[in-house]
Structure 1
Amino acid sequence: MRAILLPLLLATCVLTLPALASERCEHQRKESPVLDLAGVKRVVISINADTLSLVSGRPALSVTHCASSEREAKESRIEIARRGDTLHVSSRDSKIIEVRGLVSMDIYLSRRIDLSLPPSLPVTLDVSAGNALVSGMEDVSVDLGSGDVHLSTVGAVRANVGSGDLLLENIASIDGLSSGSGDIVVRRVGGDVRGVEVGSGDIAMDGVAGNVAVDDVGSGDVRLHGIAGNVTLGAIGSGNVKLDDVGGDVVVASKDLLENVDIRRVRGRILVDR
């Protein structure tokens, strides 16, 4: 009878809980793989329901495998592969499952990844559902699914967000920033912000020393505050754009878009292309 009930419980009572593995670690295994960066021009890091900390420094990698069973912890792997001049660091088979019913159990496998790389080495970060903190790197590209990513004191940034949350602080410049249904918060950018696009998500930006170009807004919201340069607004669907404290000009693609734009405290001109 129990053999029959367990598959039914797994089919009907399974919930994915991203925070579970970070709270529990009944079985763990640690390793420190050696990184060979000779000739490497980019590092691609792919994680699932894992936690990543990436800082600038001498090359080093430390991984803590955390699992609900000794076998899972022992068999857990982090993949390191060289493809041309790109080094791939991948952790993709993570799982976090809670089962509640006649039989209760937690099944999880995740990793804590602590990585340091030379600051000048470009990094591509692919986060499906995990958490990542990055600081001190000069060039970072982010592809974020439903996880959380925080970039602090980073040079050039490009980011594509699905339904996750992205926090950017103390960034040199942004060349491409898009959100599907996720939330993006930007604080303090030293240069320009280009290629801003939002679907049904939200983008809030505060403290940009350069110009900001918003190319496309669907049904989401864009809030810009403390922009020292010019603000350019392209297509706007049913969403809204709020501007406050703009030092330069505000350039709007068409007069009709002004219905969806709330403009306050602009020291430059308000211009309409057509």
Structure 2
Amino acid sequence: MNVALIPVFVVGLLGSVHCAGMCGGIVGALSVAPSVGRVIPVRAATRRAPVANVFAYNAGRIGSYMVAGGLAGGLAQGAQALAKLPALQAGAYWLANLMLAALGLYLMDAWRGLARLEQGGRFVWRGVQPLLKKVGPLDRPARMFVAGGLWGWLPCGMVYSVLVTAMLSGSALHGALVMLAFGLGTLPMLLGLGLMGARLRGWLASPRVRLVCGVLVLGFGLLGLARAAGGLPHGWVQDICVAPGAGA
């Protein structure tokens, strides 16, 4: 089945306000700030890291999202025969948009249910985290790329909510593309955090900013639910619904 990628990109862009709180300190430590006694040694010869390092970190992070999306989409591809069942397919659409609505509430700090999913992802993170110590001083793009790829597995309810859409794309390739679109949506914000640091984090932490972004993401989810329920015509709605996408 097809998934529209533009709305996935927009969800990543809006949802990246969450990254300021959850990943802002990490990005700052990896990209800008000197490190004393940190788990990850950061060699900061200057106060501002080279732009190449920031891009390398984010390339590794988005790459890890694509791997996760490919795995999720591959699982669905392996159950392709079941996915053709109308009732199961409809249920999948409902689930994807319910997760999106939950993400909107999460960004608004109105409901923290997705935080429970993050708890479930900690068993993966416990296996990945020790590898960060082996990367070495983060003083060159290659090491920043590896570090970004590892940090991409940090438990995150926002990532998990979009992984449901990646799973419903129906193939490993489409699942990877869904997460690529999502990762590119988060890129402007995390590039800004890496290059501007605390100044941008302070603005993104504003409750008003989070509220506006959360309401917009919640709107995506509610539109998708309305379409799944047959309450809205397809037409233009299919272009802004994350799931099902155009041609589904």
TM-score class, shorter = under 0.3
**Structure that is richer in helix per residue:** 2
Query: Which structure has the larger Rg?
Result: 1
Normalised by the length of structure 2, the TM-score is 0.22
